[in-house]
Amino acid sequence: MHNSVRDEAGQRRTTAQREPIMITTQPFGRTGHQSTRLIFGAAALSNVSQDEADRTMALIMRYGVNHIDTAASYGDSELRLGPWMKRYRDRFFLATKTGKRTYAEARDEIHRSLERLQVDQVDLIQLHNLATMEEWEVAMGPGGALEAAVEARERGLVRFIGVTGHGLGIAAMHSRSLERFDFDSVLLPYSYILMQNPQYAHDFETLMQTCQSRNVAVQTIKSITQRPWGEEARTAATWYRPLTDPAEIDRAVRWVLGRPGIFLNSVGDIHVLPLVLDAADRAHLRPRPTADEMTSQIARLEMAPLFA
């Protein structure tokens, strides 16, 4: 019987298990940064203590994760990252988001994010959840948030500009955004069950073609989702019920990372995160799951899409 030890996140690992290697990397679009294919989704730090955040950051560094994605609206996330950015800024590609839609509001929020993160510059500022036409017209029009992002780039406060969003219409909306402005990255949901929606799958593939032709980075989210919360008590910090079984997480992660050219943003719960990191660490060792395997997972876990 192997002796067991506990890693930084308190997960039991046998001494026969290898230590993590560096998670594989690929170019983050045209930014020039070689990012780990697993990006740390720092929404997981929204409502944790600094001590919990410190243990989490130590863990992602042990796995070699070199890209962090946060947002002004993610609770205390930027504040929790601040002490780490002050010490280790050069080790990470740092992205945050503004959910404001007007120039003045977005400008102020970008400056506030820099202060909270304790940095002079972020690598990527993203227009957060730009999913409805009404908000899109404001943010992308005269006096909109995009003007604040461009100004911040001109002043050296940010290096690149991206756009993010949720929902079944977001892939098509991102395509529309790319027609209006040359964004450096997009972020949107991607999972096997979601791609069974014919319209979403079509829109996603159309967006991918555009991004590949223009070297725009594609980040994916909500890949560790089992289904929306029902009436049961919530056992995770995520707004959806996440996968929690290591084998099931491994399968979901391998399906996403089995597609070249995209990134996987990690789960929004620090207790599920170690399993996602471990799965990403090993994803390249086994082939992408087949459609039959993924269909079986959906049936076995009674999975359901988040967006309908």
* DSSP reduced 3-state for 286: coil
* DSSP reduced 3-state for 38: strand
- List the chain residues with pLDDT less than 50: 1-16
pLDDT at 126: 98
- Sketch the domain layout of the chain as residue ranges: 21-301
Which residues, 6+ apart, have CB-to-CB distance to 66 below 8 Å?
Answer: 25, 34, 35, 36, 91, 92, 93
Asked if 28 and 93 count as a contact pair (C-beta separation under 8 A), the reply is: yes
**77: its two tokens:** 């996330």
Which residues, 6+ apart, have CB-to-CB distance to 107 below 8 Å?
Answer: 148, 151, 152
pLDDT at 5: 30
**Bridge partners for 125 per DSSP:** 96, 161
* Tens-digit pLDDT profile for residues 163-196: 999 999 999 999 999 999 999 999 999 999 999 9
pLDDT at 121: 98
* DSSP reduced 3-state for 150: helix
CA distance linking residue 128 with residue 99, whole number of Å = 5
CB-based burial label for 87 (10 Å; 0-12, 13-18, 19+): exposed
By DSSP bridging, strand 158-164 and strand 122-127 are: parallel
Global pTM value = 0.92
CATH architecture of residue range(s) 21-301: Alpha-Beta Barrel (3.20)
